[in-house]
Amino acid sequence: MFILVTGASASGKSEYAEKRIMSLTPQNENAIYIATMQPFGDEGKARVEKHKKQREGRRFDTLEIYKDLDSTECLNFADEQRKNILLECLSNLAANEMFDDSKSSADKTNEALKNKILSGIQRLIKKSKNLVIVTNKVFSDTMDYDSETLRYIELLGSINQSLARYADEVVEVVYGVPVFLKTRYDNAKIQTYAE
């Protein structure tokens, strides 16, 4: 099963996603946590350490994959284990790919970036029991952005739309409350997930 979890900043989407993937993971197994936040500077490193401490004891095997989801390390680990996977978060992954200085300009077009990211996610879906991806809600504010930020928002929005069409479930977390936008389950099952 593939579940896409979205929401605004500090909406509770990450906490919900962690609980959701663990609800699908047998008690005697760990889930894979793919962390995409690339730490920059002391503040970034401190934030990553804080997140690691928050995950302690939660039955996650953490892989730090900042880009290239279809990397050998990521896919081999998933393939060997055939486990549940939580990818946290797509927003960081898209930014890491977009602002990767080692890429040529042809590889940095939104279309090329979208195809690369979606290809990696499709391979993860095939290699996992269940996959939960956390992303950010974009285009919900009325702010004006510079052209590069707008291009990033358009990239993430386009990827989110593609994934939402493909996902078994799409959940928006609003103030800590999961709102099911798409599900393959009946209402009785949805209630158990929201509790």
- Closest-CA residue to 35 (of 2, 5, 61): 61
Q: Which residue has the higher pLDDT, 51 or 165?
A: 165
CB 67, CB 90: distance < 8 Å: no
Domain ranges of the chain: 2-194
> Which whole number is the average pLDDT over 175-184?
92
Residues in a beta bridge with 63: 34
Q: What is the pLDDT of residues 45-55, one digit of tens each?
A: 777 777 777 77
pLDDT of 9 above 80: yes
Q: What's the pLDDT at 74?
A: 63
CATH number of 2-194: 3.40.50.300
pTM over 0.75: yes
Tokens 């386009």 sit on residue: 158
pLDDT at 112: 94
Mean pLDDT of 61-85: 76
Q: CA-to-CA distance for 133 and 86, rounded, in angstroms?
A: 6
Percent of the chain surpassing pLDDT 70: 87
The pLDDT assigned to 185 comes to 61
